[in-house]
Structure 1
C-alpha cells in the first residue's frame, strides 16, 4: 500500500522561509543560535569601525619632520616632528586613534556605546573626532573652570562637555557616567601605553627613524618628549630598545608635575596638589602609563622657560607652537649645548605637539602670563645667548 506523498519543503521553498500564515517550526531557535546572530551583528560593526578608522589614517600623509635651524658649524642637526598637521591638530590624534582601536578590538566599545573621557584638552578634541566618525556619543568630563575656547572646540567635533566642580573628581565622575549610561570610560591615563603598538605599525617612533634615514646623522643622539599620559615616551623608549638603537630618550617635565621627582627618587606614588600650567604634559600624580624604566634622562623645566621658548621659537620658525613644544625645546637646547661642550656631533629629534593658535588667549597673552606671576625676561636672555653662542646657563 502506498503511503501519502511527502513534499520536501526545500523544493517548494528553497529559501526556507515560512509562507504567510504557515505555522512556524515546532523547534524554536536555540539560545546559542540567538547569541550567535547577535555576535555576528556586533562583529560586523567592529569590522566596519576598524575599517573607518584605518581609512581615516590612510587619507592622511605622515606628519612632517621639520629642520630647526642651528648654525651648521655646530655639527648638530635638530628636527621637530610636526604633529600639528593631524586632522585634529595635535599629537593626541595618534593616541585617540589607538585608544579607539584598542577599545573596539577588546569589545569594550560596540555600536551605540557612549564613550566617556576625563579630559578638557587635546585628547578630548581628538576622541570627539573619532567618536563622531563612528557615530558614537562622546562626553568629555572636565573641570567647570575649563576655558570657553576648549569647550567650543570639543563641541565643534561633536562632543558633549560634562562639568565637575573639583578637578580631581573627573576620574570618579567619568566612571560613574560610564556605569550609568552603559558606556565605556576610555581612561587615557591607564590605557595609553598598552593601546599603542610600540614595536612598529607606523607608530611615532618608527615614523621618526624612517624619516631620518637619509639625513646626515640618521640615528639621533637624543629624542626628547614630554609626558602627559606617559604613552608617547613609553612607545619611544620601548621602540628604541626593541630596534637596538643607541639613541637615548630624554623626557622633559613641566613645573608642578610629579613625573621628574618620582623618577629621580624612585617614588611612583608621588602626588601634588596642583596641575601643570603647560597643557598636554605634566601630571599631579604618576599615571599608570608612565614607564620610567624606558627613559634615559629627565629634565625639569620652569613654566616661564616653556612660555619664553615658544615666543622665541615663533621668531625662528615663523609660526606659533603650543606650550609643550616650548618645554621640549628648552630641554633640547640644554642637550645641544652639552654635546657642543663635549665636541660631539649628531642629531636630536623632538616633537612639535600642536599649533599655538589655540593658546593665543594664554601663553601668547602678556596679561595672562603676568597674572600667573611669570616673568619671561631671564629665560628669554638665556635663549638669545644660546642661539648666538651655543652656550647654556
Structure 2
C-alpha cells in the first residue's frame, strides 16, 4: 500500500458507476428536446433477469480519481466535458464532491424542474453494478428497498438519509435525501435518487408501481404536471423537509419474479465484505500492484490445471519461497489468497447465471459437490 497524496480522494466517496450514470443522464439531456429523456422503468428489449458480469473486488475500491483536473488550464464547464474525464476502471471510487460538481454544471445548463427525474431515466439494470443485482434478488419489493438502505455505502459513503418506514400491512414511505451541504444540489440530486429507486423498483417487480404520494424539497415550479406524470404519483407536494415517496402495501409485498434466493445470499455476503473492506482500508490506500497481478494470474490458472505455487511463482519470475515471502509481507498466504480469488470468482460466475457444475469446472473444483462444500464454508449461501 502507498500513502495518500494530493490526488487521493478524501472524505466521502462514491462508486464510479454512480458518476458514470449521472454523467450519462445529464449529457443525454443536453441535447434533448421537449420531454427530455426516454421513458423509464420498463425493461429494455431483449433484457431478462439481470446478472452482473463481474463483481468488484473489495481491495480495489479506494483508487484516486480527479474529475475536476483542468485540461489545457480549464476546468470542465459542461457535464459532457466532465464525463470525458471518467476513469475506465470499473472498481475505482471517486470523491462525492465530483457528483456535486456535475449537478452544479447541470443546474447551470438548465432550469428544468424535472432535471433529476429525467436524468434518472438513463438507469438500466446493471448500470449500478452490485447494488442493482442485490436489489433484483431480494424476495419482495419491500426487502429490495431495505437492501438499498442496508448496502448504501456500496454506492455512496456520504451521510445521506435512506430508509423505508412502515409497509407491514400498511403503506410504506421511502426517504432518499442527499446531503451534500448545498440545498440546491441536494434538492435535484434527491429527486434523481428517488426516481432511480422507483424505476429500479418497477423493473425488478415487473410491473408499474405508482406512488401514492411524492414529496420534494424544492419549491413548487410554475407547472408541475410533468413531474407528477414522470413519477406516476397520485399526489406530489413541494417544500418538504425530506424527499420521499409513499408506496401501497400491496406493492411493497410483491414477490420479485426473477429473484434467486441462493444468488441473493451470495451477493449479500459479497456486499458486506466490500463494505467492510472500504471501512477498514486506510484513507487513500490502493491495492498492491504485485497482489493485483498475482490475483489475475491465479484466476487465469484456476481451470487449466496449472494452479500450483511453483507454477504461479514461475509465471511471476519468482521462486516459490520468494513468492511466499512476498505474500507474508502483505499479510496473507498462498492458500488464503487462492481461496479468496475462488470465492470472488464464484460469486461473479453464479451471478451471471452459470450452473453450479459449470462454475465448479471453471474454478478447478473436482465437481459441483466440492463447490457446494466451499459455498457452505464461505457462508455465501445455503448450498446447491
Which has the higher Rg, Structure 1 or Structure 2? 1
More strand by share: 1
TM-score by length of 1: 0.26
TM-score by length of 2: 0.26
